[in-house]
Amino acid sequence: KAGVTQTPRYLIKTRGQQVTLSCSPISGHRSVSWYQQTPGQGLQFLFEYFSETQRNKGNFPGRFSGRQFSNSRSEMNVSTLELGDSALYLCASSLEGRNTEAFFGQGTRLTVV
Amino acid sequence: AQSVTQLDSQVPVFEEAPVELRCNYSSSVSVYLFWYVQYPNQGLQLLLKYLSGSTLVESINGFEAEFNKSQTSFHLRKPSVHISDTAEYFCAVTPSGNTPLVFGKGTRLSVIA
């Protein structure tokens, strides 16, 4: 069974641009959560989608948004990039949205210059 | 709001020596507790978790953690570490299966030959 796949693995963007990251969950999993990992703030929850609906949202500005498709694949978008958005973005999937059974992808390393 | 404190940001230890990575969480209500490991340029891998039952939980690679409700702690231990255990370790908590994981800032374990 394939694991959680995140694409791309690495990304370099310029301030002011926007970016879209993709996460394909484990087959059959209906929940996808996104986390931002930085050296200063650690791992912080962005949002969770379950069956195409946003179920939980973290404390991030509106520049951060996401969506989930009918096949459970999820994308997150960051608009008007700032230097502070440089981070490792991780997604996690679970079968029924239970975080006790979450599996993480390898992440997308975003660098904003 | 839940919070997780990992008391040591870095722990150097010699190969074959024992190690304890400390984790305390903020709430005394029922919680689920996790330890994740992150190798360089990788995502998070679940090491072990406490959901209920026995307060001592074990992983397949020799780590164990003990849930202590009165001290709100979930410390991770290994009696004899290997070079391959060098990684960053994250403690996480969630009050229920459907709420996001809250992570500690991580402990970087460096095993010295």
**Cβ atoms of residues B107 and B21 within 8 Å:** yes
Tell me if chain B has a CB within 8 Å of the CB of A43: yes
Tell me if chain A has a CB within 8 Å of the CB of B43: yes
Dihedral through CA B39, CA B43, CA B46, CA B47, nearest 10? 0
Using a CB-CB cut-off of 8 Å, the residues of chain B touching A4 are 43
Predicted local confidence at residue B104, as pLDDT: 95
CA–CA min distance B99, chain A (Å): 7
Res B18 pLDDT > 90: yes
| Residue contact A99–B42, C-beta within 8 A | no
**N- to C-terminal Cα separation, chain B:** 41
Predicted local confidence at residue A95, as pLDDT: 84
Q: Which of A33, A62, A75, A65 is nearest to B101 (CA)?
A: A33
Q: Which residue in chain A has the smallest CA separation from B39?
A: A106
Predicted local confidence at residue B28, as pLDDT: 61
Using a CB-CB cut-off of 8 Å, the residues of chain A touching B43 are 4, 6, 90, 104-107
Predicted local confidence at residue B37, as pLDDT: 96
| Tokens found for residue B16 | 């074959």
Tell me if chain B has a CB within 8 Å of the CB of A86: no
CB environment A67-103: b (16+ within 10 A), e (fewer) = ebeeebbbbbebeebeeebbbbbbbbbbeebebbbbb
Instruction: Tell me which of B44, B57, B90 to substitute to probe the interface with A (most A C-beta atoms closer than 10 Å).
Output: B44
Give the Cβ contact number of residue A40 at 10 Å.
7
Average pLDDT, chain A: 94
In this structure, what are the phi and psi dihedrals at residue B73, rounded to the nearest 5 degrees?
-130, 160
A1 against A57, higher pLDDT: A57
Band of residue B100 on the pLDDT scale cut at 50, 70, 90: confident
* Residues sharing a CB contact under 8 Å with residue A113, sequence separation 6 or more, in sequence order: A12, A13, A14, A15, A83
* Residues sharing a CB contact under 8 Å with residue B61, sequence separation 6 or more, in sequence order: none
The pLDDT tens digits for A94-105 are: 887 777 778 999
Predicted local confidence at residue B89, as pLDDT: 97
Predicted local confidence at residue A43, as pLDDT: 94
Q: What is the mean pLDDT of residues A54-80?
A: 96
Band of residue B39 on the pLDDT scale cut at 50, 70, 90: very high
Burial class (CB within 10 angstroms; exposed 0-12, middle 13-18, buried 19+) of B15: middle
Predicted local confidence at residue B1, as pLDDT: 77
Using a CB-CB cut-off of 8 Å, the residues of chain A touching B98 are 55, 97-99
Predicted local confidence at residue A33, as pLDDT: 95
Instruction: Tell me which of B32, B34, B101, B102 to substitute to probe the interface with A (most A C-beta atoms closer than 10 Å).
Output: B101
The pLDDT tens digits for A19-51 are: 999 999 999 999 999 999 999 899 999 999 999
Res B34 pLDDT > 80: yes
Predicted local confidence at residue B51, as pLDDT: 87
Tell me if chain A has a CB within 8 Å of the CB of B53: no
